Amino acid sequence: MNIYRFSLPALALLGLALSPAAHAQSYQFTSFDGPVQTTAGATLVATTVNGISNSGVVVGFTSDNNGVFTNFSGTPGTPGALTALNLSGTANANAINTSRQVVGANGTQAFTLNSISPTNSPLPLPPVNGTTTSEAAFGINDN
């Protein structure tokens, strides 16, 4: 009878050798500035991305030196492709799907925005129950 002893590092190397080849993923990161409301003396302070769809469309908000928030959506790196959304300054656009449906929160009410357009208004989502005082939507799938 043969007895084989392996150390833990040797077993780990054996596992790697027997596993299927790993496929390296490559990612591209794009730096960009979101849109700012055109108020006198406003300068961009920050751009925040809250969500990204499978097709690379992002949703998020910018803030300026006056404390004004502007929600936006679009494809970073494409000139003129970022659109300010028709949301109040207290709203947050949190997620987007491939069909460009946006969800988020407007004060204490969760909402959906059915397409990206500066003229479309958010539609309130039905309340979860009668006792919840604040609701927000943080994700939306493609189905």
Number of H helices, E strands in the chain: 1, 8
Mean pLDDT of 18-41: 73
Tokens (6 digits) for 52: 């990204």
Closest C-alpha to 140, from 52, 71, 69, 76: 52
**pLDDT tens-digit map of 84-117:** 898 887 889 999 999 999 999 988 889 999 877 7
Token pair of 82 as six digits:
């970022």
CA 72 to chain centre: 11
Please state, in angstroms and rounded to a whole number, the distance separating the CA atoms of residues 113 and 52: 15
pTM of structure: 0.73
CA nearest neighbour of 100 among 58, 49, 47, 50? 58
DSSP code, position 41: T
Q: What is the pLDDT of residues 72-85, one digit of tens each?
A: 999 988 877 888 89
DSSP character for 139? -
State the residue for tokens 């989502």.
Answer: 125
Q: Which residue has the higher pLDDT, 10 or 66?
A: 66
Task: Quickly count: other Cβ atoms within 10 Å of residue 122's Cβ.
Answer: 23
Residue-level pLDDT at 18: 56
Instruction: Report the pLDDT value the prediction gives residue 16, as an integer from 0 to 100.
Output: 53
User: Given this model, what pLDDT does residue 15 score?
Assistant: 54
For 39-60, the pLDDT digits (tens) are 777 888 899 999 999 989 999 9
Least confident of 5-14, 71-80, 87-96, 125-134: 5-14
* Beta carbons of 37 and 10 less than 8 angstroms apart: no
Q: Which amino acid type is present at position 15?
A: G
